[in-house]
Amino acid sequence: MTAAPDHTPTFAALTPMERLDKATPILMVPVLVVLGFLAIGSTSSWLTLTVSGLAMGMMIFIMASGLTLVFGLMDVINFGHGAFISVGAFVGVSVLVALSGWTGAASLMLNLAAILLAVIAAMSVTAVLGWGFERVIVRPVYGAHLKQILVTVGGLIVIEQLIHVVWGPSEIYINRPEMLQGAVTFAGAAIEKYRLLAVAVGLVLFVAMRLVLRRTKIGLIVRAGVENGEMVRALGYRLSLVFIGVFVAGSALAGLGGVMWGLYQEVITAGMGERMMILVFIVVIIGGLGSVEGAFIGALMVGLLQNYIAFLEPKLALISNIGLMTAILMWRPQGMLPVVKAK
């Protein structure tokens, strides 16, 4: 007779190293900021660069959050996400142009009201578009990655061309509203006002998203669906309905990101979403597929690193994102905070 295998569960506390390993992803952003400070030396340029890096990161996060949730929840990878960014930007800018009386006025309230209206218009249009996209393009190809990539790329092409049909083939230049132009000076550093607004919007959105995901019933279902969809379905929840909701919300967020990015660049083109998708994918990969927190950390790192490197060594800035992605994947092949198990 063989002896029963030893089964002695241990209740030892985590060692400091293990704790550090768990906390590393969260610590990476502050560490990067400190490293940037050491490398740059001058407080005022460092502050300017940090704020612009954070603003860029927040905008990328807004665009990336929907994509990563959609992937986590339904294992759908949507290459057409970039089209929503472009459409959002074009709709939003059209509204802003129509409200040029409000944006030209030297009143912060009127300016913000114009932006709010533009954002609402852009988000509603992209939400409807997302719903249609899910119905027509994505629905028939659940579970087949290869086909998903192909048809969503096809959708991207068609929507981009439709933008050309509706708004004409040339890019559109847009001025930021009167009160959001220029910069404020703080501790000797010039900080553009619009960047502060972008950081604020991004932070509010992240906190709201976390609250919804952690504190509400629907958030619980979404998180459970990401981790084990079959079990959630077995418990009687209509996960496909939840999924459509997340897809529509993600598309609306892409529209919001498009408006904000368009105002940041002050020029919009039909191809802008396609170009942003590259950054969005890098962020989603280094954050870990399906993880909103990971996307947040990843977006901030990408934004900060790109701004620091552009200041320190302009030639390297082009490949800094690829370098960051390579380093993270060597360290954690699944991304920093993976939620979805490798399939």
Partner 1 sequence: MVTWLLSGDKPRSAILAALLIVILVCLAGAPFLFPGVRSLETAATICIFIVLAASYDLLLGYSGIVSFAHTMFFGLGAYGVALGTTHLGRSFGALATGTLAGALAAAALAFLIGLFSLRVRAIFFAMITLAVASAVAVLVSQLSNITGGEDGLSYRIPRVLTPAFRPFDEEVLGIRFTGKIINYYLVFFSCFALFLVMLRVVNSPFGRVLQAIRENDFRAEAIGYRVVRYRTTATCLSAAVAALAGAIYAIWLRYVGPDTTLSFEIMLDILLMVVIGGMGTMYGAVIGATIFVLAQNYLQNLMGAASEATHSLPLIPELLSADRWLMWLGVLFILSVYFFPTGVVGRLRAGR
- Binding positions for partner 1, rule: CB under 8 A: 77, 79, 137, 140-141, 145-147, 149-151, 153-155, 157-158, 161-162, 164-165, 169, 274-275, 277-278, 281-282, 284-285, 315, 318-319, 321-322, 325-326, 329-330, 333-334, 342-343
Residue 234 burial by CB count (10 A; 0-12/13-18/19+): exposed, middle or buried?
A: exposed
CB of 147 to partner 1, least distance (A): 6
Q: Is the Cβ of residue 104 or residue 169 nearer to partner 1 in the bound state?
A: 169
CB of 322 to partner 1, least distance (A): 5
Cβ–Cβ < 8 Å for 202, 58? yes
Q: Is the Cβ of residue 7 or residue 315 nearer to partner 1 in the bound state?
A: 315
Q: Is the Cβ of residue 19 or residue 139 nearer to partner 1 in the bound state?
A: 139
Q: Is the Cβ of residue 132 or residue 169 nearer to partner 1 in the bound state?
A: 169
CB of 158 to partner 1, least distance (A): 4
Distance (Å, whole) CA 52 – CA 343: 37
**Cα 60 from chain centroid (whole Å):** 4
Q: Is the Cβ of residue 25 or residue 155 nearer to partner 1 in the bound state?
A: 155
Residue 105 burial by CB count (10 A; 0-12/13-18/19+): exposed, middle or buried?
A: middle
CB of 51 to partner 1, least distance (A): 25
Distance (Å, whole) CA 323 – CA 316: 10
Q: Is the Cβ of residue 277 or residue 292 nearer to partner 1 in the bound state?
A: 277
Task: Copy the structure tokens of residue 76.
Answer: 């759908």
Q: What is the DSSP letter of 214?
A: H
Percent of the chain that is helix, strand, coil (3-state, to 5): 75, 5, 20
Q: Is the Cβ of residue 193 or residue 332 nearer to partner 1 in the bound state?
A: 332
Amino acid at 245: G
Cβ–Cβ < 8 Å for 336, 287? yes
CB of 333 to partner 1, least distance (A): 5
CB of 168 to partner 1, least distance (A): 9
- E strands along 42-199, which residues? 172-173, 183-186, 189-192
CB of 276 to partner 1, least distance (A): 11
Query: What angle separates helix 16-40 from helix 292-312, to the nearest 10 degrees?
Result: 30
| Residues 171-204: b if buried by 16+ CB within 10 A, e if exposed | ebebebbbbbeeeeeeeebebbbbbbbbbebbee
CB of 34 to partner 1, least distance (A): 27
Sign of CA dihedral 171, 176, 182, 186: negative
Q: Is the Cβ of residue 48 or residue 68 nearer to partner 1 in the bound state?
A: 68
